[in-house]
Structure formats: structure tokens, C-alpha cells
Amino acid sequence: MAADHNLTYPLIQDLDFKLADELRLTHGFPEDLSKIYLQFGIDVPKTNGNSNWKLPMPARYLVDNDGLIRDAAINPDYTKRPEPNDMLELLAMLT
């Protein structure tokens, strides 16, 4: 993906949620909710490609060239994301 889009920064793939778990960015499902999801044909482990009944929370970190986290946005509600213009302002402050 990085090569296809000429990205100049590294991408992280966290298939088993090891990093997301360490950062406390995952949430699991109670057994009764898992059964309801399956009744609707939503097989979370199959989608994950593993046996995890987990989903990651959307998170965005702004990391500077020294590896310091300058800003973070985390929300368990996947519909609430940082505004792109706000991100551009933060990036401008770092350059």
C-alpha cells in the first residue's frame, strides 16, 4: 500500500491487535452480543481473520520527527473523527 500510494512514512499492520491491545484501543463483545451479531450475519472473528471477538477503536496520532506524540484523537464511536482541517492546522504547527 505504501508503494502504491508513494507514501513516505511507515504503515503499521496489527492483524492480531497486539499493539492496539497494548494501547488499550480494542473492545470485546459480551457473549450475548456476539450471538446477536452472528444472527445478523456479522462474524467479527472471520472479518478480523482470527478468532478475536474484538474491534479496534479509531485512533489518530500525530507524531513528530523525534517520535514524540504531539496530538492524539481516540473515540470509541467510529462516527466521530477529527476534522481534516484541524489536522492540517496541527501539521502546520510542526513544520
> pLDDT tens digits, residue range 13-51?
888 899 999 999 999 989 999 999 999 999 999 998 888
3-state secondary structure string, the chain? CCCCCCCCCCCCCCCCCHHHHHCCCEEECCHHHHHHHHHCCCCHHHHHCCCCCEEECCEEEEECCCCCEEEEEECCCCCCCCCHHHHHHHHHHHC
Which tens digits make up the pLDDT trace of 47-95? 988 888 998 888 888 888 898 998 999 988 889 888 888 888 888 888 7
Query: Nearest to residue 72, comparing CAs of 10, 23, 27?
Result: 23
Chain-wide mean pLDDT for the chain? 89
